Amino acid sequence: MSDFEILQRDWLAHLGHERRLSPKTLEAYGRDLRQFCTFLAEHLGTAPNLKAVAALKPADLRAFLGQRRRDGAGNRTLMRQLAALRSLARFGERDGRLTAAAFAATRGPRLPKGLPRPLDARAAAAVTKADSRAGEDRPDWVLARDAAVLALLYGSGLRISEALGLKRAQAPTGAGDALTVLGKGGKTRMVPVLPIVVEAIAGYLAQCPWRLAADGPLFVGVKGGPLSPRIIQLAVEGLRGSLGLPGSATPHALRHSFATHLLGRGGDLRAIQELLGHASLSTTQIYTRIDSSRLLAAYDAAHPRAR
């Protein structure tokens, strides 16, 4: 194993153990590094080591990004790969094994600044009701389960991974209950649970045919194992047609709807940041742009002299 491969191994271990990144993120970063090493072996004519990597110039890194672009990688993929390489270089720089200058000096592609696309309040509420899927050939307990998960996403602003990571013992039992959620980076936060969400979860538990262990998952699949996020995604895809929802309607759009609707009703931005588990207020501030854009659209549509 070369000294550069050892650095990569140590960096990925650091991300997994200390930064607590998800296995899927680590898998993506590992794939990025393998692609970078393959490029360098061809670009330099030899397997890369720390000395060769330290001597790289921004032009070399731009050549790597250019090759990835020709291979079909989009802007977001390229930005992630560059971010991974910068993080690796900073990690190596901290203990004197590498320099990060060339990586920091390389500019990545610009990403379009898109806004989250929340559902309106009526559509969001319809998505969380089991009755909206009454015509589907699915067991009643499955429809109740999916409705309870979606109610958590909209009612408490959870990510789908956070909702499916809940244990049976965490199920709320009454009004005023709160959940302790394990979010990104292993950080925990408290989120309130609305009475209607408590009711949806209780309805699912009353119908669930499986005996759920206290330390096991709250939401299970048809065979009693952990529920896959893909099942919830497919449920929302089915609701798009029956409810006439746009293509932007996804489980994560319910989290956007949670934040946007709170802000539109006068919710405090910092409180919303805490509820969402955002590390930075700037991440939450994007919802102020959504609210402002809606106000301007309403003004343009209604004011006699707006045209």
Catalytic residues: 159, 184, 252, 255, 278, 287
Could you give the CA distance from residue 253 to residue 86 in angstroms, rounded to a whole number? 31
Residues sharing a CB contact under 8 Å with residue 170, sequence separation 6 or more, in sequence order: 179, 180, 218
Spatial contact of 205 and 171, defined as CB atoms under 8 Å apart: yes
Spatial contact of 90 and 58, defined as CB atoms under 8 Å apart: no
180, containing H or E segment: strand 178-182
Phi-psi region of 157 (alpha: psi -120 to 50; beta: other; left: phi over 0): left
As given in the structure block, the two tokens for residue 92 are: 């190596």
Positive or negative: CA dihedral 204, 210, 215, 217 = negative
217: which strand partners? 167
Q: What angle do CA 79, 161, 149 make, to 5 degrees?
A: 135
Positive or negative: CA dihedral 72, 78, 80, 84 = positive
- Cα 236 to chain centroid distance, Å, stands at 16
